[in-house]
């Protein structure tokens, strides 16, 4: 879907490969008509950030959607009491900044590039134009929002009611995924970040991992690698 059969790819001489890749990566832009795809690519602007650079931060006025085409982005939030929590990691194909596009236009979170990262941006007004023009895209965005909302509510409920051990256990199974190709998983972030994501401290995380190993559920291979010995056991914690 990165090329159209009715148009030669050369008809967009002003668009470099990055933009095409970026747009085609995003789930909500899949299965689009040629003309829609062209129009979207016309309004995207590629930007790159180097490691540690801030893409936006709390208090910033929000006016763009950011679509990750390469690299990794940390989305964090500062609680009222000043503690930082990692909300999610953005990988290629994910997007950020969508929240404030519609209601409040002030960011409440922080987006920081964890490595050399390139994103495609779409300005809020242009994005809204597209949504108004192509309701089917709006529907896909709605579906995406709805999924995010569900995840967020589930996450809130988990933190509220489950112990760190349980949260951790469920997280490990999630990373393992349904594709049980291998029982060895690789953590996608440092344990420090994982602790923040699970709303706990590095110390507690370390202890709970040891506990799970002592109980025979997992086997700690190396810093980032963990062998899941008993997925079902972990799930029903």
What does the binding site for its own copies look like in residue numbers (CB under 8 A)?
77, 79-81, 83, 85, 87, 98-104, 108-109, 128, 131-133, 135-136, 138-139, 141-150, 152-162, 166, 170, 199
Q: Does 74 bind DNA (CB under 7 A)?
A: no
Q: Does 85 bind DNA (CB under 7 A)?
A: no
* Least distance from its own copies to the Cβ atom of residue 116, Å: 27
Phi, psi of 205 (to 5 degrees): -55, -45
In contact, 145 and 95? CB cutoff 8 Å: no
For residue 89, give Cα distances in angstroms to 75, 96, 207.
Answer: 6, 10, 24
Q: Give the count of beta carbons closer than 10 Å to the beta carbon of residue 82.
A: 6
Residue 135: partners with Cβ closer than 8 Å, 6 or more residues away: none
Looking at 120, 176, 205, 212, which residue binds DNA (CB under 7 A)?
Answer: 205
Cα(135)–Cα(144) distance, integer angstroms: 14
In contact, 200 and 162? CB cutoff 8 Å: no
Cα(22)–Cα(17) distance, integer angstroms: 9
Helix (H) or strand (E) holding 64: strand 64-70
Q: Does 192 bind DNA (CB under 7 A)?
A: yes
Number of residues that bind DNA (CB under 7 A): 21
Which span sits near DNA by CB under 7 A: 36-44, 87-95, 176-184, 198-206?
Answer: 198-206
Partner interacting with residue 129 (select from its own copies, DNA, none; CB below 5-8 Å by kind): none
Partner interacting with residue 148 (select from its own copies, DNA, none; CB below 5-8 Å by kind): its own copies
Q: Give the footprint of DNA on residues 151-170 (CB under 7 A).
A: 163-165
Looking at 55, 200, 212, 234, which residue binds DNA (CB under 7 A)?
Answer: 200
* Least distance from DNA to the Cβ atom of residue 161, Å: 9
Looking at 4, 15, 199, 229, which residue binds DNA (CB under 7 A)?
Answer: 199
In contact, 183 and 219? CB cutoff 8 Å: no
* Least distance from DNA to the Cβ atom of residue 222, Å: 8
Quick one: tokens of 194? 């994982």
- Counted residue by residue, the chain has a size of 237
Site residues (vs DNA, CB under 7 A): 163-165, 190-193, 199-210, 220, 223
């Amino acid at each position: 879907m990165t090329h159209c059969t009715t148009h030669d790819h050369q008809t967009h001489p002003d668009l470099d490969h990055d933009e095409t890749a970026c747009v085609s990566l995003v789930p909500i832009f899949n299965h689009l008509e040629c003309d829609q795809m062209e129009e979207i690519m016309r309004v995207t602007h590629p930007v790159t950030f180097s490691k540690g650079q801030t893409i936006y931060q709390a208090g910033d006025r929000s006016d763009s959607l950011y679509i990750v085409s390469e690299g990794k982005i940390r989305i964090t939030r500062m609680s009222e009491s000043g503690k930082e929590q990692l909300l999610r990691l953005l990988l290629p194909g994910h997007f950020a900044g969508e929240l404030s596009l519609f209601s409040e236009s002030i960011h409440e979170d922080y987006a920081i590039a964890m490595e050399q990262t390139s994103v495609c941006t779409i300005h809020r007004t242009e994005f809204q134009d597209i949504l108004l023009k192509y309701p089917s895209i709006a529907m896909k965005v709605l579906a995406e929002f709805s999924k995010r909302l569900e995840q967020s509510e589930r996450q809130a409920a988990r933190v509220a009611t489950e112990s760190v051990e349980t949260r951790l256990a469920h997280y490990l199974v999630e990373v393992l995924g349904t594709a049980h190709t291998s029982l060895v998983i690789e953590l996608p972030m440092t344990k420090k970040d994982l602790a923040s994501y699970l709303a706990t401290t590095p110390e507690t995380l370390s202890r709970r991992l040891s506990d799970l190993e002592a109980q025979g559920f997992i086997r700690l291979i190396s810093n980032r690698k963990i062998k899941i010995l008993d997925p079902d056991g972990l799930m029903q914690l």
